[in-house]
A = this chain, B = another copy of it.
Amino acid sequence: MPFANTEIPGKFQALLAERGIRMTEQRRAILNVIETAKRHLDAGQVLRRARKLEPSIDRSTVYRTLGLLKRHGLIDELDLMHLDGEAHYYERKLNRDHIHLACLRCGKITEFVSDLFESLKEQIENDCQYQIAVARLEIGGCCSNCRT
């Protein structure tokens, strides 16, 4: 998935094994797809790609696996301003939260990290007495390419 690709492939598998979760051919295929994806994929795209590795995989297995990874905090679920239909997109969770900018004209997704974002989250935790589990900042607008 986008951004620093410093993650070790197979990390998901190791992390799930640690927690005593069974590994199946289907899961291996799905994890592989997500770990090696270069862009944000929705559930349907994950299914189609995983089927190339393991043709028997069913739609519901993909949803169940995505749910599993979400519950274990290994992936984040995004809407990306619903640029294309109503599906959700998934990406590996990295050490640092990032902001998603979706160009409403060309559909390009840009990622951005910011210390200000980190400060804002801290402010919220303090001022609102909130314990943040997920923070999703999505921006829709017009990218520089589309304005020139």
Residue positions of A touching B, CB distance < 8 A: 79, 81, 86, 99, 101, 104, 110, 112, 114, 116-117, 119-121, 123-124, 127-144, 147
Chain B residues within an 8 Å CB radius of A123: 114, 116
- If the complex has contacts A99-B124, A101-B124, are A130 and B117 also in contact, measured as CB distance less than 8 A? no
Chain B residues within an 8 Å CB radius of A129: 143-144, 147
Stoichiometry (number of copies): 2
- If the complex has contacts A79-B79, A114-B123, are A141 and B134 also in contact, measured as CB distance less than 8 A? yes
Distance in Å from the Cβ of A82 to the closest Cβ of chain B? 8
Contact B130 A144 (CB under 8 A): yes
Chain B residues within an 8 Å CB radius of A135: 137-140
Contact A112 B86 (CB under 8 A): no
Contact A136 B138 (CB under 8 A): yes
- If the complex has contacts A79-B79, A116-B116, A119-B116, are A130 and B124 also in contact, measured as CB distance less than 8 A? no
